Amino acid sequence: MNVVEELKEAFKEMNLKVYYSQEGNFFIVPFKLKTKSGEKEVKIFVEISENWILTFGLLEEVDNIPPSMRPHLYEDLLEKTLYGREIKYSLIEIDKEYIAAQAETRRQAFSREDFKVEFKGVLAAALIFYDEILPKHYSLDKTI
């Protein structure tokens, strides 16, 4: 079974509704997280390249964060990335720049079970972002 089919099976096992772009070779998984401040919808992307499978969730548009708060927020994200287990944050630019939770797997090392762990790690990082990191700095009025 190829990687795309393995990913489809993994999503099926997790009971997730996904959208697949054959042209772009990526999946989009709309996911609703229950956070302390209410429900947040996060788009999880799974991109398949020649050597890597990158899983990332778009958490917040950088432009929604006041410039004066960004350095302290970035420090917290870096600290969680360095010391958190299975937690990694980054800045990703698609149409705009976003703070993202991410995980990656070498395509050669792909297994369905490891992918599920990576996927859940992205969700855990998203929850930590919304429940711990962001409230420490301020509350957003806008959401993605």
Domain boundaries, the chain: 3-137
The β-bridge partners of 101 are 57, 89
- What is the reported pLDDT for 139? 55
- What is the reported pLDDT for 144? 41
Predicted TM-score of the model (pTM): 0.88
In the numeric block, the tokens 């996927």 are attached to: 119
Is 54 in contact with 76 (CB distance < 8 Å)?
Answer: no
Task: Identify the segments of the chain with pLDDT beneath 70.
Answer: 138-144
**Distance between CA atoms of residues 45 and 82, nearest Å:** 22
- What is the reported pLDDT for 22? 87
- What is the reported pLDDT for 137? 81
**Distance between CA atoms of residues 80 and 129, nearest Å:** 9
Residue of 64, 32, 55 whose CA lies nearest to 142: 64
The β-bridge partners of 34 are 39
What architecture (CATH level 2) is domain 3-137?
A: 2-Layer Sandwich (3.30)
